[in-house]
Amino acid sequence: MSPLRIATRKSLLALWQAEHIQALLGANEEKAELIPMVSVGDTDMRPIDGSRQVGVFTKRIQQALLDNEADIAVHSLKDLPTEVDPALVLAAVPERETIEDSLVSPAGWTLDQLPENATVGTGSKRRGAQLLNQRPDLRIENIRGNVQTRLEKLRAGDYDAIILAEAGILRLGLNDLERQLLPLEVMLPAPGQGALGIEVRSDDERAYDACHRLNHPPAHAAVHAERTLLAALHGGCLAPIAALGQVNGQTLSLKATVLSADGKQRLDHAGSIQLGKDFLSSASELAVEVAAALEEDGARELITASR
């Protein structure tokens, strides 16, 4: 049979992710080839905010599936919109990488060590709001571009520090980068952070079967809870919403945080559930429960005001 075609963006991190899935498929004796593509998010360096459509990094490779240019799309799950296209299906979530964010600076400062009124670069409202919640003196400035571009801007002195996902740092082999992991009580991750999502056409049995063998049920349950919560809050990937699902044995726990854009208001809620045979249904049940508790505390108003 012909190799399965994997649609991927051309950034180094996206290529690493696609090559990783290609290798996992190869270990199962399933041949695959990469089909590199350029997304809107790779070429448009304007801030990603409420004036722009979500999915700027994912729509091009999803369209490649729909147009039969490719058979598999590999996503960073934190970038994948929660709206479901019935023509596509998430076939697998492989084992998750580290979920924390890192504070990157030439001096390797901790958050407490950052100078007063330091400029921190991030394109994420979630990260910016959580930073301001801890350090209201900080100047949060937008930053765009791939990891290498952001590091170049940091070295050029445009920022005192930047925030990067630790998963991306590790995947790119930047182990010597001066950085400090941000504790989860300070910086809860984005829904889906550190996880990859493998998407295929709903009617493509060969691609689905090949990819589903790579699924890691605990990771899938955790990110499904996070993404269902995000959808229930109508947050989209641009709102200051953070969530973390974790599986311990048969118990799934979910922590979630919603903040005002300036970090002055913060709502937290957590819950847990015993996973049933249909673990995705259990994850959805928990997510809806946690989202409802946050809404009761005023989460919807904070989300709307942050747009």
Which residues does residue 33 pair with via DSSP β-bridges, in sequence order? 5
Amino acid at the residue 165: A
> The tokens of 143 are what?
């930053």
| Residue 32, CB-side half-sphere exposure with 13 Å CA sphere | 29
Q: Please check whether the two domains, 1-94+195-215 and 217-307, share a CATH topology.
A: no
Burial of residue 87 (number of CB atoms within 10 Å: 0-12, 13-18, 19+): exposed
DSSP-assigned letters across all residues of 145-209: S-HHHHHHHHHTTS-SEEEEEHHHHHHTT-TT--EEEPPTTT-PPPTTTT-EEEEEETT-HHHHH
Architecture of domain 101-181 in this structure: 3-Layer(aba) Sandwich (3.40)
**E strands, 24-175, in order:** 32-37, 72-76, 88-92, 101-104, 119-121, 139-141, 161-165
User: Residue 55 gets which letter from DSSP?
Assistant: -
Contacts of 296 (CB under 8 A, 6+ apart): none
Per-residue confidence of the chain (307 residues) as pLDDT tens digits? 899 999 999 999 999 999 999 999 999 999 999 999 975 544 443 444 444 354 567 889 999 999 999 999 999 999 899 988 999 999 999 999 999 999 999 999 999 999 999 999 999 999 999 999 999 999 999 998 889 999 999 999 999 999 999 999 999 999 999 999 999 999 999 999 999 999 999 999 999 999 999 999 999 999 999 999 999 998 876 789 999 999 999 999 999 999 999 999 999 999 999 999 999 999 999 999 999 999 999 999 999 998 7
* Choices 3.30.160.40, 3.40.50.740, 3.90.190.20, 3.40.50.150: CATH for 217-307: 3.30.160.40
| Residue 218, CB-side half-sphere exposure with 13 Å CA sphere | 11
Contacts of 255 (CB under 8 A, 6+ apart): 188, 243, 244, 268, 269, 270
Question: Structural domain boundaries of the chain?
Answer: 1-94+195-215, 101-181, 217-307
At the fourth CATH level, the homologous superfamily of domain 1-94+195-215 is Periplasmic binding protein-like II (3.40.190.10)
> Do 227 and 188 contact (CB within 8 A), yes or no?
no
Residues marked active site are found at 79
